Amino acid sequence: MIRPLLFLVFISTLPLWLHPLISAKPPASWQKIGTSTLPREGVTTIAIGDSLYFFGGYINQQFDVTPRAERYDIATKSWHKLADMPFAVTHLGVAKLGDDLWLNGGLEGTFPGIPLNTIQIYHIKEDRWSLGPALPQPAISAGLAYVNGMLHSFGGTQADNQTNSTAHYILDPKAKNPSWQKLNTEVPQPRTHSSTVVLDDQIYLIGGEFGHRIASEDTSMLHRFDPKTQHWQRLADLPMDASHHDNSAFAYQNKIYVLGGKSYRQLAIDNIISYDPATNQWEQKITLPARLIAASARPVGDRLIAAFGGKESYKHLYDGIWQLPIATLTGQTTP
pLDDT at 316 over 80: no
Domain at 16-330: CATH code: 2.120.10.80
pLDDT score at 215: 72
Give the mean pLDDT of the chain.
89
Per-residue pLDDT averaged across 31-50, rounded? 94
Burial class (CB in 10 A: 0-12, 13-18, 19+), 96: middle
User: Which residues are CB-contacts of 197 (< 8 A; sequence separation ≥ 6)?
Assistant: 203, 204, 206, 249, 250, 251, 256
Tens-place pLDDT, residues 263-308: 866 578 899 999 999 999 999 998 998 899 999 999 999 999 999 9
**CB–CB of 157/164 below 8 Å?**
yes
Per-residue pLDDT averaged across 41-59, rounded? 96
Residue type, 64: D
pLDDT score at 232: 98
**CB–CB of 91/106 below 8 Å?**
yes
Domain definitions of the chain by residue range: 16-330
Gap between the Cα atoms of 180 and 153, Å rounded: 9
pLDDT at 206 over 50: yes
Tens-place pLDDT, residues 156-185: 999 998 899 999 999 999 999 999 999 999
Gap between the Cα atoms of 172 and 180, Å rounded: 8
